[in-house]
Amino acid sequence: MIAANKPPRDNFKQRHHAAAFTVLEQFSQGLIHFARNNGGSITEEQIIKALDGLRDKEDLFDAAWVVLENDLEFIKARERAAVRHDPFGRLLVSRFDHLLEGNEAGDIEHGALSRTILQPFFKVIRMMVGMDMLQEIDGEIHAIVEAHAHEDDELRDPLEYWEHLAKEPAVRSRLNLVFARMALHFKGYEHRKKWLMQLVNDNMPASDPIWNFTEEHCIRLLDALFNDVRKTLSVPEHSAELVAKLGSEDVATLREVIKAIDADIARLKSS
Domain segments of the chain: what residues? Answer: 8-80, 82-270
CB contact set of 260 (below 8 Å; sequence gap of 6+):
186, 189, 190
**Low-confidence spans in the chain with pLDDT less than 70:** 1-23, 26, 54, 56-86, 148-164, 207-208
- Torsion of the alpha carbons at 172, 174, 179 and 181, rounded to the nearest 10: 150
pLDDT of res. 224: 94
Total residue length of the chain: 271
Q: How far is CA 252 from CA 226, 236, 243, in A?
A: 15, 13, 9
pLDDT of res. 56: 67
pTM check: above 0.95: no
Residue type, 47: I
Coil, helix or strand for 113? strand
Report the largest interatomic distance among the alpha carbons of the chain, rounded to a whole angstrom: 77
Angle, CA of 48, 51 and 52, to the nearest 5°: 85
Coil, helix or strand for 170? helix
**Treating both helix axes as pointing N-terminal to C-terminal, what angle do 62-80 and 11-36 enclose, rounded to 10 degrees?**
160
Instruction: Give the model confidence (pLDDT) of 79-88 as tens digits.
Output: 444 434 567 7
Q: How far is CA 238 from CA 26, 125, 235, 251, in A?
A: 51, 23, 5, 11
Measured distance CA(133)–CA(64) in Å, rounded: 21
pLDDT of res. 80: 45
